[in-house]
Amino acid sequence: MNWTPLDEAYIFHHINPNEYSGNIIYSPVCIYCNFMTSIPLMGNLDGGSFRRCGRCRKEFRAKIINNPVSNFINSTRHLKGTN
């Protein structure tokens, strides 16, 4: 049986590296109550994409505030969905 090391078990690869360039920046604004302050739940593993609001204490997946690379739409226009 192949075991996954604990340090690697919760690393998320949820962003296509060709979609955004550089470091991904996540919005700290709560998606439920629009409070401006939240804390990352696994900041060193996922870059802060999962956060907890400082006011309502709900956990959420933060929105990406980076701009996508300029040619992402043009380079993927020919692809079709599989569903």
Give phi and psi for 45, each to the nearest 5.
-100, -40
Number of domains forming the structure of the chain: 1
Domain of 25, in residue numbers? 16-69
CA nearest 37: which of 12, 62, 66, 15? 62
Q: What is the mean pLDDT of residues 9-37?
A: 78
Verdict on whether the full-model pTM lies above 0.75: no
Q: Which residue has the higher pLDDT, 72 or 10?
A: 10
Q: Which residue has the higher pLDDT, 49 or 75?
A: 49
5 is a domain residue: no
3 is a domain residue: no
The Cα 53–Cα 40 span in angstroms is 9
Q: What is the mean pLDDT of residues 21-30?
A: 84
Q: DSSP letter at 63?
A: P
33 is a domain residue: yes
20 is a domain residue: yes
2 is a domain residue: no
3-class SS at 24? coil
